[in-house]
Amino acid sequence: MDFPGVALVVGAASGIGKATALQYAADGCQRVAIADIQALPLQEVQAEIEKDYPAVKVKALQVDVTSYPSVQAMIDAVVEQFGRIDYCANLAGIIGFGDTVNLPLSTFDNVYEVNLRGIFYCCKAEIAQMLQQSPLTSQGAICNVSSQAGLMGNGNLPAYVATKHGVVGLSKSDGAKYASRGIRVNALCPGSIETPMLGHLPSGEEGKRREAERIQEIAMGRVGLPGEMANCIMFLTSGRSSFVTATTLAAHGGIRNQ
Ligand SMILES: NC(=O)c1ccc[n+]([C@@H]2O[C@H](COP(=O)([O-])OP(=O)(O)OC[C@H]3O[C@@H](n4cnc5c(N)ncnc54)[C@H](O)[C@@H]3O)[C@@H](O)[C@H]2O)c1
């Protein structure tokens, strides 16, 4: 796949975001910006890309997506270094377990601030930048990472589910609004993917029981891999999906009894 211009991956220090940053480099993007709240793991991702793809220029930036000034500073730094932003993958996210009655108010607020307000902040700053640029092959493409939880309910994850539905709504709205300006916006909805986030299940028997239940629901009988999600993001942000916008791609290995 061909990625002329500049890619930005937000939430790149771990899991699907790390795989996405590496995949942009593997797929020929020569300028890759990576951002995350975790500075040290992000530096390790930068070092890995530079080692495996010496021709690729990498800019690593610490960002807290819950702060708009931090997000704007990230965009400004990428533009200062690389001159433009063409492909954005917004992945920063956290999970919070607990049914509505028992979920602490602070957990709801934290999940909302990162998963929905944070993605909105990223889109706001990214789209504003894309609108100012002269287009390369397109004006720009954004993939917001929602979840299977953005398409259906889960009684143990109401805050996560609500924010991930919000990401779908935001992506559909921005995709429709900016289509006439040549910017595409879509949401990827992964199922269960083998990342540190999956490890945040409760420990002991309860965790094992939930893990078994999760696999039971997946038609392919396994969880997905971060690289499989990175490939979906490559599709949604490359010219291969030039007529795809304001929609979702569900990548969950099939849901039994759907
Ligand atoms: N792993 C799964 O099963 C799964 C399923 C569906 C959707 N997702 C979504 O995919 C995305 C990536 O998740 P992952 O599984 O790779 O998890 P992960 O925990 O490995 O990665 C999430 C990244 O987001 C970063 N982050 C958290 N808060 C941030 C903030 N305030 N500012 C900037 N960065 C911040 C973390 O530091 C981390 O590097 C998330 O949005 C998640 O909700 C994951």
User: Nearest to residue 53, comparing CAs of 19, 88, 20, 22?
Assistant: 22
> Nearest residue CA, atom 42 of ligand 1?
93
Q: What is the pLDDT of residues 74-112, one digit of tens each?
A: 999 999 999 999 999 999 999 999 999 999 999 999 999
Q: Is residue 257 one of the residues assigned to a domain?
A: no
In this prediction, what percent of the chain has a pLDDT beyond 70?
Answer: 98
Residue 180 alpha carbon to ligand 1 centre in Å: 31
Q: Is residue 255 one of the residues assigned to a domain?
A: no
> What is the band of 203 on the pLDDT scale with cuts at 50, 70, 90?
confident
> What is the band of 6 on the pLDDT scale with cuts at 50, 70, 90?
very high
Q: What is the pLDDT of residues 145-196, one digit of tens each?
A: 999 999 999 999 999 999 999 999 999 999 999 999 999 999 999 999 999 8
Number of structural domains in the chain? 1
- Residue 164 designated active-site: yes
Q: Is residue 231 one of the residues assigned to a domain?
A: yes
- Residue 178 designated active-site: no
Q: Is residue 79 one of the residues assigned to a domain?
A: yes
Q: Is residue 65 one of the residues assigned to a domain?
A: yes
184 or 205, higher pLDDT: 184
163 lines ligand 1 (CB under 6 A): no
Q: Is residue 256 one of the residues assigned to a domain?
A: no
> What is the band of 200 on the pLDDT scale with cuts at 50, 70, 90?
low
246 lines ligand 1 (CB under 6 A): no
Predicted confidence at residue 1, as pLDDT, reads 58
Q: Is residue 165 one of the residues assigned to a domain?
A: yes
Q: Is residue 258 one of the residues assigned to a domain?
A: no
Q: What is the pLDDT of residues 210-238, one digit of tens each?
A: 788 889 999 999 999 999 999 999 999 99
Q: What is the CATH number of the domain that holds 153?
A: 3.40.50.720
> Rounded mean pLDDT of the chain?
96
- Domain with 40, as residue range(s), is 6-250
